[in-house]
Amino acid sequence: MSAAPKASRLIDRLPPVRGRLSEGYALAKVTWFQVGGVAEVMFRPEDEADLAAFLRDRPHDVPVTVLGVGSNVLVRDGGIDGVVVRLGRAFVGVTSDGVDVRAGAGALDANVAAVAARSGIAGLEFLSGVPGTIGGAVRMNAGAYGREIKDVLVSARCLNDRGQVHELDREALGLSYRQARLPRDWIVVAAHLRGEPGDAASIAARIDDVHRRREASQPVRTRTGGSTFKNPGGPDGSPKAWELIDRAGCRDLTIGGAHVSPMHCNFLENTGSASAADLEALGEEVRRRVFDSCGVMLQWEIERLGRRA
């Protein structure tokens, strides 16, 4: 009796690339929570052309997930099936011209704010308080301190699931509170932002103020993922998510190694021994208690990816 054929490895089905393909990549080491399983295959494209060719030629039953710097995601303990794409050095450039800033999707939001400041471009200071990359910021219309990406975005360059290029302006992206009208399998590769003329010293002072406010009010030096839940009242409305969480008695609530931050209770923290399951269970318990307390069902802002173990 012959042996059953060995299951094929995903990496063997993928097209050749100029970048790097890695099997079984541990995602806990590249996420801010420092939890989660492995990527079945990790792909770091050499450049946009390499990424486009991969998307065009890959078997189309293979799912693709984009992961930035892992600041606003919770990767579940079972890991992520298919290919996880991380945009490297070819996607981190930031240039300015007049009041326009062009940034690769892998550029850190804080670096974009810094380049704008040095160039005397005002209006992008809020990005220094937004964790993550410009690609993620466009995807979720990220914002802080009264401003959002939609306030400064001119257009975004995207690749669809077949690797074809699309230039989408702000209207086509349909940006609203913490979301964009963008297909999940499209990848943002660059963005064009526009500020206004300003004084470099004054802009730098405002960025310093954003940093001070953030340090004073958020647990920025812990294993966290940023704001956990969307504000029910939107970016400017009331109530804020943290107010409802506090009112429901969830400040300092703990499950396993997961903890609601006492500094800002819309932040979850990994105290060092948490699993992704602990963090997700804690988030769901917070949602349950808030609903029981005031009838509002909080919506996750952190994106949860992959399979439960």
Beta strands in the chain (DSSP E): 20-26, 38-44, 64-66, 73-75, 80-85, 94-97, 100-104, 121-122, 143-144, 147-148, 153-159, 165-169, 187-194, 196-197, 223-224, 254-255, 258-260, 268-270, 303-305
- The three-class DSSP label of residue 122 is strand
Q: Which candidate in 178, 223, 287, 289 is catalytic?
A: 178
**Distance between CA atoms of residues 48 and 239, nearest Å:** 42
**Distance between CA atoms of residues 16 and 117, nearest Å:** 41
Give catalytic status of residue 178 as yes or no: yes
Give catalytic status of residue 301 as yes or no: yes
* Nearest one of 151, 148, 188, 184 to 168, comparing CA atoms: 188
Q: Which helix (H) or strand (E) holds 284?
A: helix 276-294
Give catalytic status of residue 176 as yes or no: no
Q: Which candidate in 96, 227, 261, 275 is catalytic?
A: 227
Active site residues: 178, 227, 301
